[in-house]
Amino acid sequence: MKTIPLHILQDRTSSGLQIKKFRREDHQVDDPDTDGAHRDDHYIFFLLETGSGNLMIDFKEVQLLGGMLYYILPTQVHHRIRTVNVDGWYLAVDIALIPQECRNVFERGLLLQRPYELNEVQLKQCNNLMTLFHEKYKESDTDPFYAPVIHALLQSFLAIVAGHYNEHSGLNLKVSRRAEISGQFKNLLTTELRSIKSPADYASRLNVSESYLNEVLKKTTGFPVSYWIHQEVMTEAKRLLYYSRLTVKEIAHELGYADHSYFSRLFRKQSGTTAIAFRDQYRK
């Protein structure tokens, strides 16, 4: 493929969401298109009741077991989940349907999100909610109360998941200004990486000083602004090297570097290998 496929939720549904039930008797069919590696323009949530699964996301393997919650953010490159004897749920949600306070939780981390292990009571509550959600989702959408009902159930699920992850993180969402700024920085970094490379420019866009933004990120993540800019550049470069047929020069321009030689030197400095060597190594 020339570049990384982007799956658009609106191409599959007009309701802004899609919910499916996993069953252990379901058989998976391999996707010949690079094992289905792609991005999504929407969130994806998984709730595993039983069984196990694994997911490759941005070159990292995520292991999922029964009783776990997990989510994938828009733009993260991943393969389709591989499951063994799984009962559970899949939910795709348009960004516009996710309340900002929930997005603040889901998007504030600069590292790959971790699965959340539910206890027995939490799993039962989530499963019951998803069962009702699925039943109402399948009903006729000609009912004038169809949309309000499914959106109310969706908001309940999102709030429950955000609550679990907020508690799991050990951060207080309501009072943590640092966590809020870290999340805003991550969102800005994802959307503006190709045009903004300067820590000072990110600080300006967030209406804080560069020194304060550095202090916030060092406190919440252990690393300064420049580290995360380079990390995001390298992650996106590796995605394009592995999943696309773009040349190194084309990738440099795609990432906003007019001088592809500078980009090549930066890649080697950050990753310890050349861009071509990385592509050759991971495509063996």
Q: Superfamily assignment of 6-169 in CATH?
A: Regulatory protein AraC (2.60.120.280)
DSSP for 56-122, please give it: EETTEEEEEETTEEEEE-TT--BPPPEEEEEEEEEEEE-GGGS-HHHHHHHH--SSPP--EE--HHH
Domain boundaries, the chain: 6-169, 177-282
Query: pLDDT by residue (tens digit) across 48-80?
Result: 999 999 988 887 889 999 999 999 998 888 888
Whether the per-residue pLDDT at 119 is higher than 90: the answer is: yes
| Residue 206 DSSP one-character state | T
Whether the per-residue pLDDT at 137 is higher than 60: the answer is: yes
- pLDDT recorded at residue 218: 86
Query: pLDDT by residue (tens digit) across 77-106?
Result: 888 888 888 999 999 999 889 887 888 788
- pLDDT recorded at residue 182: 83
- pLDDT recorded at residue 32: 47
CA separation for the pair 161, 47 (Å, rounded)? 10
Q: How confident is the model at residue 226 (pLDDT cuts 50, 70, 90)?
A: very high
- pLDDT recorded at residue 77: 87
Q: How confident is the model at residue 283 (pLDDT cuts 50, 70, 90)?
A: low
Class of residue 18 by CB neighbours under 10 A (exposed 0-12, middle 13-18, buried 19+): middle
- pLDDT recorded at residue 60: 84
Whether the per-residue pLDDT at 255 is higher than 90: the answer is: yes
Q: What integer is the mean pLDDT of 130-135?
A: 96
CATH placement of domain 177-282: 1.10.10.60
Query: pLDDT by residue (tens digit) across 168-211?
Result: 655 444 446 777 788 889 889 988 999 999 999 999 999 999 99
Q: Do domains 6-169 and 177-282 have the same CATH topology?
A: no
CA separation for the pair 169, 54 (Å, rounded)? 22
In sequence order, the β-bridge partners of residue 55 are 62
